[in-house]
Amino acid sequence: MPTSRSYRDSCGVARALDVVGERWALLIVRELLLTPQRFSELRHALPHVSSNVLADRLRELENNGVIHRGPAETEGSTAYQLTEWGRNLEPIVRGLGEWGVDAPQPPEPSALSASSVLIFLEDAARPDPKAPPTVCRLDLGGRVWTVRLADGRLRVQAGETATADASLRADPKTLSTLLNDPSTLETARANGSIAVVGDLSAIRRLLHTIPRNDHPTTP
């Protein structure tokens, strides 16, 4: 049963939190920023949310016009996606993410979804504007993403692309480690925790878009 409590405050901030202030709500929005996702994909991305709470949140967000159910790519099934109003949360969620990286690390074991790493990548990347345009195909935890590096901007899209300079298969945590310390690329490739196909230097350019700050960070 969805939550019904309210802050009873006319202020816009309070009204926003009446809608997306309940536990897990903004993390669900984060997951849907890059692409629609199905119930089981959300469970996989947010392994610590229990299924009843996830169902409650999705119902609540749908009733409040933040998300809606639509047809999934694979026919016959449905996926949750942001409404136009829900999409307006994007700068807020990204802002929270940038603010939160300065918080103390959470205790292990700690989850990390593909969306989390990719959103961090988009926001933290500072590609050299003079570097050659690069397209990477990422196979991250069972889904395929396209990362485009051009004009001093890094952009992530869900799905395949026709032409990629290189392809990288990894899980989100490993990619996060690589972004923190690109020098581990060779070892990771050697021990099989990642797989690279194509132009290795393209992957290397991708990893080096994150400015180094000496002390490691996690998305």
Residues contributing to the site for a second copy (CB under 8 A): 6-19, 21, 23-24, 26-27, 30, 46, 48, 64, 85, 88-89, 91-93, 95-107, 109-113, 116, 119-120, 173, 176, 218-219
Residue 26 binds: one of a second copy, DNA, none (C-beta under 5 to 8 A by kind): a second copy
The residue among 1 and 103 lying less far from DNA, judged by its C-beta, is 1
Interface residue with DNA, options 63, 77, 88, 110 (CB under 7 A): 77
Q: Does 124 bind DNA (CB under 7 A)?
A: no
Print burial letters for 3-42: b (CB count within 10 Å at least 16), e (below 16).
Answer: eeeeeeeeeeeeeebbbbbbebbbbbbbbbbbbbbbbebb
63 binds DNA (CB under 7 A): no
CB of 64 to a second copy, least distance (A): 7
Q: Work out what residue 93 binds among a second copy, DNA, none; the CB cut-off runs from 5 to 8 Å by kind.
A: a second copy
**42 with 116: CB under 8 angstroms?**
no
Q: Does 3 bind DNA (CB under 7 A)?
A: yes
Contact call for residue 40 and DNA (CB under 7 A): yes
Q: What single DSSP character describes residue 80? A: E
CA distance 146 to 59: 31
Task: Name which of residues 15 to 34 contact DNA (CB under 7 A).
Answer: 22-24
Task: Please say which residue, 58 or 82, places its beta carbon nearer to DNA.
Answer: 58
Burial class (CB in 10 A: 0-12, 13-18, 19+), 179: buried
Using an 8 Å Cβ cutoff, are 136 and 147 in contact?
yes
- State the nearest-atom distance from the C-beta of 91 to a second copy, in Å: 6
How far apart are alpha carbons 204 and 98 in whole angstroms? 23
Toward DNA, which CB reaches closer, 22 or 123?
22
Looking at the Cβ atoms of 8 and 130, the one nearer to a second copy is 8
Alpha-carbon separation of residue 203 from 15, 109, 188, 200 (angstroms): 43, 28, 13, 5
Query: Cβ(4)–Cβ(47) under 8 Å?
Result: no
11 interacts with DNA by CB under 7 A: no
- What residues between 161 and 200 interact with DNA by CB under 7 A? none
Tokens describing residue 37: 């996702």
Which residue ranges make up the site for DNA (CB under 7 A)?
1, 3-5, 22-24, 38-41, 48-53, 55-56, 58, 72, 77-78
